[in-house]
Every structure is written in structure tokens, then in C-alpha cells.
Structure 1
Amino acid sequence: MTGRQRILKIVYPLWIAITKLMGRNTMMLTNSRHVPPAESIYSLQVPLSNGNTVPLESYKGKKLLLVNTASDCGYTNQYNELQKLYQQFNNQLEIIAFPANDFKEQEKGSDSDIAQFCKINFGVTFPLAKKSVVVKANDQNNIFKWLTSKAKNGWNEKAPSWNFSKYLIDEQGTLINYFDPSISPLSDEVIKAVSVEGRRQTADGRQ
């Protein structure tokens, strides 16, 4: 961990408090009508940093939190919070990190460098994808094309606003929440969203 990274880790709680006070990176979106996806996310696969590929279909029946990450960011300490969330809800939640260098070049390392950094400094045990582009662009990662296209996911067009934006998929493959970077993985909002089991029926029987 570099000197800058150590400082960022120490000041992280203050950074979160300041961004919330200023109203920066605090957006939350919810698929309140539970609009189903137009295309199944389970048809997609994720190339991992270790050279393997994981089909998202293998996560069917669990919630799935997809997060774009970076190693040299004010939010990098959220790796620690993501690991705690992963351990707390391991039986019902999977997490995949998507390292990207899209914001102020805050992820310059190779896939192996990133994996080592996450393991040594934060004890990360959830999967890391190969470094890719997560913002809207011609070479945007296919997972993030799905996450940020209403024509694919059914309702959301919101791209990551910065590193550590979070997208929550439910047990049936429906995108149900988006959380901006200043919303901690251990916040009440994220915990509540992860804890709710399956689809909830409304009083008149609609989903």
C-alpha cells in the first residue's frame, strides 16, 4: 500500500461524512415496480482476474452485488466493507468487483497487482473481474452495458458516477437497486436491500 493509499484509508470516514454533507455521490435508485429485464443477465459471463470465467447463471437464486472498483480512490476502503458484507450474507449474497481505470486514472495496476493489493490489504475473498471499462463507451464491459441500458435491464440508464458504484441484482436476475459511491456497503439502505428475500407481492397480487 502506498503512502497515498494509507492516508486515503485513514481519512475514509471523514471523506464519507463530507461527501454526504455536500450531497455528492449519494444517489439511490430503486426498481420499486420490479420491472423485469428485457434481456437475461444470466446469459452473460465474467472474465476474472485469475484467468477463469464465471457464468452469472451460476449465481441464480442469490442476490448479486456488482461494484466498479479502484485501488487509489477515496472510496477504496469500501473493499473492507464489501468483504464484511460478503461474510455477513455469504449464504444469500455474491459480490463481484470490477476494477476500472475510468475515473482520474485511479486503477493503473495489472490484474495480478490488483488481486494482490485486495488480498493483502483488505482480505478480499469475493471474485475480482479482469480490469475493464465500466462507463458508457464502445468498449464498455458487457455486464455494465446490461446494468446501464434500459433496453437490457428494463428500467435503469444510470452509469457509475465514480468508483464504488453498486448495482444489486435479486435472486431472479432483476436489477433492483443502484447505490452511489458515498452509500456504504454496510449502510442501512444496502443491508435492508440485501436482507429482503425474493420478490414481494403487493396487496392486489401484482409483483
Structure 2
Amino acid sequence: MEIVYLRMKKSITVDKLQYVKLKHIAYTSGPAEIKSELEDTLIYRITPKDNNIVIVDSFLIVDHLSKLWSDLEFQLIGPQQTIIRLEKPKKDISVLVVAFVWLLLFIGTAMTIMNFHYDVSMQEVQQKLHFLLTGEHSEFPLWIQIPYSLGLGAGMLLYFNHWFKKRFNEEPSPLEVEIYNYQQNLDQYVSHHENRLNDKHVPD
């Protein structure tokens, strides 16, 4: 009996109601002469009753494939489930909404930075630094404050590793790592709480 290895994909995204084939949710390794036909096997039918997320369990996949391919032995490796996300059509974003959100974030970020510098008495520190270096008192040591402000902005760009859509290097930013960890936790949650694959969705 030929052996076929299946490795479920952690998650996929679809943008419309459709049939999901084996190649969409799993990687396969098996006899070359049947691999193409096997990958085109219909696994799941997305219906309007499905919510934004559907969980496909690998054991039900193996059971379904075993009925269709009784001469093959299926072995699972890797993830036990695939999360299918139904992506809704994106609406055009209003320029006014973008401008409002940008302004809100700009003001919020500015207030955060100013409050932080006030808490740590940054102006007094810069004044004392100016006195130590020059021996003169100055309420606004601009030759320190201006480079510091520019360096603060440049440091934020390097920290987030982005300039609009351009990346400075292939290393993920701390924000991307946090988003990835959040996505992993979200996937684990929905795997236990969302509806699993139902037999009525599996094509005959």
C-alpha cells in the first residue's frame, strides 16, 4: 500500500464562497502519478452559514480521503488543523478618515513623548549637560535639543524597521514579532472555540 504524507497548513485566507481543495489546506508527499489528482480532491464547501473563521480538522480529512482512496495510507505530520479565514471585500477608505486617524495618532504620540520627557526632567538634564560642556547656563540648549529630536525620530524608524512600505533589512521589527505572537494566540483560541469541519460540508 502506497503511503501519502499530509502536512496541514496553519491557516489560509479565501475571499469568496468556494470549494476548498486538498492542495489549498495541506502539503502532500506521495506517488507522483496520483499526486496531482489527489491534491485536486474537494475537501470543504464554504457556505453563507460559515462565519469569518472555519476550522478544518486533519482527522476528518484523513477519514474523507480514506473513503475516496482506499488503496492509499495517509499519515499526518505537523499541525492538526487548518484555519480558513473568510476575507470580506475591502471597502474604499475615505481620505478624511485616514487624515483623522493620522492626526489622532500624531497627537497621541506627541503627548506620550512629551509626558515621558517631562517625567524624567529631560530639559533639566540637557541644561546641565550644556553647562558641563560649555560652562554656561542656557534655558534652551538647542545644539543638544535639535540633534536629540532628530535622533529620536531616526531611532523610531530603525526600531520599527520601516519607512512607509520600505524595509531597511529582513529582520522583523519588535512590532511584527508582537503581531505574530498575537496571531498565534488567536489561532490557538479559535481552534478550540470555533465550529469544526462538519460532514455536510464535505463533498460526496
Q: Does the alignment reach a TM-score above 0.5?
A: no
Larger RCO of the pair (alpha carbons < 8 Å, separation 6+): 1
Greater Rg by CA:
2
Higher helix share: 2
TM bin, normalised by shorter chain, reads: under 0.3
